[in-house]
């Protein structure tokens, strides 16, 4: 199977972001005979929009223009599609940061709402991040069963919470996709080491698709360095800067070998908390 991560420089212009994703999928380097898993970054269609804009484009249980557009792309380009994140309305007036997973016919296989919200102080131009002002946290983990293995879903800040990744592994994950928009400051310090640590701990492929560069006239800057990390912690593909594809061909033979030779899940004597 081929895995393709798209590194983006998304903005508040939803139409422009949609057009960019579509143009990249049109030119996706691929073997027509191989299954293709595509992962978009966090906030792929709306990056940095204030609360009112998030609500303007937020979908509901019954209708989402952004979801429909992404599902149509999955069908048109015949890819399994982890479609970054889009806003979906919550009952309290906020929105969920939701990641949808579509099959190559555009059918929804599952979705995940970001559990851990980025309420932190960072030494950059933005300084204070308060995702919880706009976003409502999710309440469950998600594993999607596919013809090429089981895929766990996580989003950006989730990667700092090892218990969640252990729960994904215990639920059967072979791959863990991580649509992200790490800040330049936190990304430079922690992005790669966290991806490698989670891959080693879970013995899964980690698929970190990131945003990169200056967004919205420089009001935000993200780290990029989208990468695919194998279950031994090796970076097997990376794009440090600029927009475009990060690709690698993988199968589960190596994963099974590593888990057989070092069965850490069976050796662990601590019980991880289970998310309901």
At 173, list the tokens: 């994950």
CATH number of the domain bearing residue 8: 3.60.110.10
Burial of residue 249, with CB atoms counted within 10 A of its CB: 0-12 exposed, 13-18 middle, 19 or more buried: exposed
Looking at the domain assignment, is residue 139 inside a domain?
A: yes
- Annotated catalytic residues are 42, 114, 156
Instruction: Indicate the pLDDT class of residue 271, thresholds 50, 70 and 90.
Output: low
Strand partners of residue 4 = 38, 247
More confidently predicted of 274 and 245: 245
Looking at the domain assignment, is residue 276 inside a domain?
A: no
pTM, rounded to two decimals: 0.96
Looking at the domain assignment, is residue 67 inside a domain?
A: yes
Domain extent for 161: 2-264
Looking at the domain assignment, is residue 18 inside a domain?
A: yes
Looking at the domain assignment, is residue 274 inside a domain?
A: no
Burial of residue 63, with CB atoms counted within 10 A of its CB: 0-12 exposed, 13-18 middle, 19 or more buried: exposed
Looking at the domain assignment, is residue 113 inside a domain?
A: yes
Percent helix, strand, coil in the chain (nearest 5)? 30, 30, 40
Looking at the domain assignment, is residue 101 inside a domain?
A: yes
Torsion angle, CA of 255/79/85/93, rounded to 10 degrees?
Answer: -120
Structurally, the chain folds into a number of domains equal to 1
Looking at the domain assignment, is residue 55 inside a domain?
A: yes
> How large a percentage of the chain has pLDDT more than 70?
98
Q: How far apart are the first and last CA of the chain?
A: 31
Beta strands of 62-219 (E only): which ranges?
80-82, 86-89, 95-102, 108-113, 119-121, 128-130, 142-146, 149-153, 175-179, 205-209, 212-215
Summarize pLDDT for 141-177 with one digit per residue, the tens. Answer: 999 999 999 999 999 999 999 999 999 999 999 999 9
């Amino acid at each position: 199977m081929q895995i393709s991560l798209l590194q983006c420089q998304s903005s508040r212009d939803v139409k422009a972001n949609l057009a960019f994703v579509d143009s990249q999928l049109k030119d996706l380097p691929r073997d027509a005979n191989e299954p293709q898993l595509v992962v978009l970054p966090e906030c792929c269609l709306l990056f940095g929009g204030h609360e009112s804009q998030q609500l303007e484009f937020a979908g509901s249980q019954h209708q989402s223009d952004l979801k429909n557009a992404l599902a149509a792309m999955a069908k048109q380009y015949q890819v399994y599609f982890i479609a970054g994140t889009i806003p979906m309305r919550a009952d309290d007036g906020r929105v969920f940061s939701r990641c949808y997973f579509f099959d190559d016919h555009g059918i929804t296989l599952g979705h995940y709402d970001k559990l851990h919200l980025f309420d932190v102080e960072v030494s950059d131009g933005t300084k204070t991040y308060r995702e919880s002002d706009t976003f409502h946290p999710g309440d469950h983990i998600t594993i999607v069963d596919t013809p090429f293995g089981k895929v766990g879903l996580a989003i950006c800040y989730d990667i700092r919470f090892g218990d969640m990744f252990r729960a994904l592994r215990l639920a059967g994950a072979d791959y863990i996709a991580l649509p992200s928009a790490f800040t330049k400051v936190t990304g430079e310090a922690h992005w790669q080491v966290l991806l490698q640590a989670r891959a080693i701990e879970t013995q899964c492929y980690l698929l970190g698709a990131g945003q990169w560069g200056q967004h919205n006239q420089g009001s935000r800057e993200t780290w990029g360095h989208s990468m695919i990390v194998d279950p031994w912690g090796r970076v097997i593909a990376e794009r440090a800067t600029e927009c475009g594809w990060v690709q690698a061909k993988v199968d589960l033979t190596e994963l099974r070998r590593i888990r057989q030779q070092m069965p850490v899940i069976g050796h662990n004597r601590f019980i991880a908390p289970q998310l309901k």
